[in-house]
Structure 1
Amino acid sequence: EAVEQAFGTDVDYAMLVKFYGQEPEPRRRYSPAKCIGAEKHRITGNPTSKAISTSFVERQNLTMRMSMRRFTRLTNGFSKKLENHEYALALHFMHYNFVRPHKTLANPYPRTPAMAAGIADHVWTIEEIVRLAVE
């Protein structure tokens, strides 16, 4: 529903549903269950079957876990209030998209995702983000 609200029908969207085996034994409970299969489901548009993957989402999840303690597994650094959690996410995504140049976007010069998308013309500073919050 969120994808439809954000993009309407102007997106190729599919879902990969994975199936997992038995829960790990108690001594291995921190290890993930083994994936025993997967199904691809077209939701809207014409997604390319070969491109239906969890790779991009899993990479983003790892980046978030490495960048914000509140997303680290088995931590006491969790968000106590939803509002603070939302603020932390907003700061993370502003930094990720506007402040931090990405090596994969360095051609022809170091750029942020916002610059590559054409919605920013320079690498932002933390001060610029703080100014947004104050205004």
Structure 2
Amino acid sequence: MENPGSQDVSDSAAHWAELHIVQVVKRTSRDRIERRIAFGDLFEALHLIEASQGQPGTVNTAFVERLNATLRTWLPALVRRSRHAGSDGERLERHFFLVLAAYNFIRPHRSLRVQVNGRWVDRTPGMAAGVTDHAWTVAELLRYRIEPFVEAA
């Protein structure tokens, strides 16, 4: 994977010091896959992939396509030619963050399960990344409070 170095990014992403954007480009003409870091640190991005998937991994299109399919299933506004009115950006953004929270903290993923004392234990991505020690309930997620973001001066 190549690291093109510092790149111009929008102000909305620039203050996210822990943001890492990896780009996967499939070139069907040459049957080639190119991976590159678009923003952030390559080694930190690979570490986060390993932490979230529970095993060393690589940046691949299957992971991204699976996440996109899940988001389209849970967010009707993202489906092409949907009858759902998704023009309200603020509502879509709130729904998007709720879906991502449920994806990461409530719903166990079969591919992340581990064997403990001879039994398979289901885990959420949040559990696999070490952010939480259990799958949350919907009530627990809705009651969780996050401190408001205050931008440094």
Mind listing any 5+ residue stretches in structure 2 that lack a counterpart? Answer: 1-8, 47-57, 116-120, 148-153
Q: Is the CA contact (8 Å cut-off) linking 2:35 and 2:59 kept in structure 1?
A: no
| Higher normalized helix content (fraction of residues) | 1
Mind listing any 5+ residue stretches in structure 1 that lack a counterpart? Answer: 20-34
Q: TM-score, normalised by structure 2?
A: 0.59
Q: Distance in 2 between matches of 1:122 and 1:97?
A: 11
Displacement after TM superposition at 1:4 (Å): 9.6
1:49-97 deviations in Å (ceiling 9; x for gaps): xx45322111111111122211112102132321101111111011100
Q: Give the total of aligned pairs.
A: 115
The percent identity for this pair of structures is 34
1:86-120 deviations in Å (ceiling 9; x for gaps): 11111101110000011112213111111111111
| Higher normalized strand content (fraction of residues) | 2
Structure 1 equivalent of residue 144 of structure 2: 132
Determine helix, strand or coil for the equivalent of 1:106.
Answer: strand
Structure 1 equivalent of residue 122 of structure 2: 110
Q: Distance in 1 between matches of 2:99 and 2:86?
A: 14
Structural mapping, 1:1-135, within 5 Å: 1=9, 2=13, 5-7=16-18, 15-18=23-26, 35-37=28-30, 40=34, 42-43=36-37, 45=42, 51=58, 53-108=60-115, 109-132=121-144
Q: TM-score, normalised by structure 1?
A: 0.66
Q: Is the CA contact (8 Å cut-off) linking 2:105 and 2:135 kept in structure 1?
A: yes
Q: Is the CA contact (8 Å cut-off) linking 2:22 and 2:36 kept in structure 1?
A: yes
